[in-house]
């Protein structure tokens, strides 16, 4: 991960050193001291911590903890060394030799070609560097006072959105706009949740490549990604038959269909589990409450959805992020499949609304419960009832809404 070395980083490290407290400095105090929004400070603190983004850990200069309703930040030993190094450089500004500031352990001036994306990016076959899931863009902050001067232009973290082509046995099937992280899991989860393969064993291999994006587009610095999957012959034959059935259609409707006759809204029935039917709201909300601390990329850049896996006791074991809510769910499904955990007892928690596509994907994977932070659509409620799936929405502690498993009587 590229560590942002700009005025904001310097000011934030200096403020933490100046306001040094044994228990840490509160986020509101930092925001007031720097005259910046708390969200901008939290994003930068995340980048300066030791969280892993795009397979690369941060420098570990700060540590952020939550105590009750408060977020506290403090410098680590590595952060103090960084501040001391900056002071040394300032004192030696007339020296002919530039100062070398301490950086992340094992870091060098240039990123190695194998760095960046999770999922075995084969840079030898690539014509572009691996795109980062979080990139830097120039921003100018404006306040509510129309007479106040806007802030100077500064670098800030932004979530990447790049084209990702999914290629099955050499046949390009779909191009999705996604965050370039966990792409092996994304491709496998997509193949499973869309019914392109029946089991994880139907996928014999996955390779991820970086490519130059057409006309230099792509939020990851002009690059795109291709994920190549080698799938079982019977699944590939079915995929080609599906493509032939869609040939010649020009509508931009659901998954390429352009007629109501081609629309399939009959979900698979999930296996009944008493624990999912009787799960108390407190357990659902426990899982929801644990999500923000694991949403590393969203804390750094915003704009990312999260899909998390929770045990029947409400403990989160996995959380995957993407700019698209469907992509985040596919990444989660793929992660479970890659680790041989498909079919394990548990449920999905998501930071988004509940749409019918999310319900269908969960039903196809026999997931008995879906809980989302925002509200569901009517079709999501109806499909969940038809699938026998427990659906929770508006899960915002201390409240949550459970939707009826069957249509209410008139």
Q: CB of 30 within 8 A of CB of 73?
A: yes
Q: Spell out the long-range contacts of 254-263 with Cβ–Cβ below 8 A and sequence spacing 24 or more.
A: none
For the chain, helix (H) and strand (E) counts, in that order, are 12, 17
Q: Sign of the CA dihedral 17, 21, 27, 33?
A: negative
- State whether residue 212 is helix, strand or coil: strand
DSSP 73: E
Catalytic residue among 89, 99, 203, 252: 252
Catalytic status, residue 395: no
Burial of 237 (0-12, 13-18, 19+ CB in 10 A): exposed
Residue 137, token pair as written in the block? 């863009």
CA–CA dist 187, 190 (Å, integer): 5
Q: What are the φ and ψ backbone dihedral angles of 405, each rounded to 5 degrees?
A: -70, -20
CA–CA dist 38, 44 (Å, integer): 10
- ∠ CA(3), CA(8), CA(11), 5° rounding? 115
Residue 392, token pair as written in the block? 């929770």
Any residues with CB less than 8 A from the CB of 340 and at least 6 apart, and which? 200
**Which sequence positions are flagged as catalytic?**
252
């Amino acid at each position: 991960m590229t560590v942002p070395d700009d005025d904001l980083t310097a000011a934030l490290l200096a403020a933490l050193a100046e306001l040094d407290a044994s228990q840490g400095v509160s986020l509101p105090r930092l925001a007031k001291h720097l005259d910046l929004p708390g969200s901008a400070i939290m994003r930068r603190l995340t980048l300066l911590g030791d969280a892993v983004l795009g397979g690369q850990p941060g420098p570990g200069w700060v540590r952020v903890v939550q105590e009750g309703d408060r977020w506290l930040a403090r410098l680590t030993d590595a952060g103090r060394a960084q501040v001391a190094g900056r002071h040394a450089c300032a004192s030696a500004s007339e020296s002919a030799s530039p100062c070398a500031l301490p950086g992340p352990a094992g870091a060098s001036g240039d990123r190695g070609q194998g760095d960046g994306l999770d999922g075995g990016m084969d840079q030898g076959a690539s014509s572009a560097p691996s795109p980062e899931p979080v990139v830097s863009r120039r921003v100018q902050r404006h306040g509510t006072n129309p007479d106040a001067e806007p802030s100077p232009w500064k670098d800030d973290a932004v979530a990447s959105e790049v084209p990702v082509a999914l290629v099955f046995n050499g046949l390009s099937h779909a191009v999705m706009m996604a965050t370039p992280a966990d792409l092996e899991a994304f491709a496998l989860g997509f193949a499973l949740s869309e019914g392109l393969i029946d089991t994880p064993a139907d996928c014999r291999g996955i390779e991820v490549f970086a490519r130059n994006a057409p006309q230099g587009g792509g939020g990851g610095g002009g690059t795109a990604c291709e994920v190549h999957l080698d799938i079982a012959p019977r699944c590939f034959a079915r995929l080609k038959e599906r493509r032939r059935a869609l040939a010649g259609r020009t509508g931009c409707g659901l998954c390429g269909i352009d007629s109501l006759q081609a629309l399939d809204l009959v979900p698979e029935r999930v296996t009944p589990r008493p624990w999912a039917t009787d799960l108390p709201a407190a357990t659902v909300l426990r899982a929801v409450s644990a999500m923000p601390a694991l949403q590393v990329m969203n804390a750094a850049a915003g704009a990312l959805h999260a899909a998390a896996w929770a045990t029947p006791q409400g403990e989160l074991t996995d959380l995957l992020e993407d700019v698209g809510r469907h992509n985040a769910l596919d990444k989660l499904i793929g992660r479970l499949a890659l680790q041989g955990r498909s079919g394990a007892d548990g449920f999905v928690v998501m930071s988004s609304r509940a749409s019918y596509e999310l319900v269908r994907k969960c039903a196809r994977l026999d997931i008995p419960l879906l809980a989302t932070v925002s509200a569901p659509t009517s079709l999501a409620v109806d499909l969940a009832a038809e699938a026998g799936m427990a659906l929770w929405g508006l899960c915002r502690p201390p409240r949550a809404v459970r939707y009826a498993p069957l249509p209410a009587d008139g």
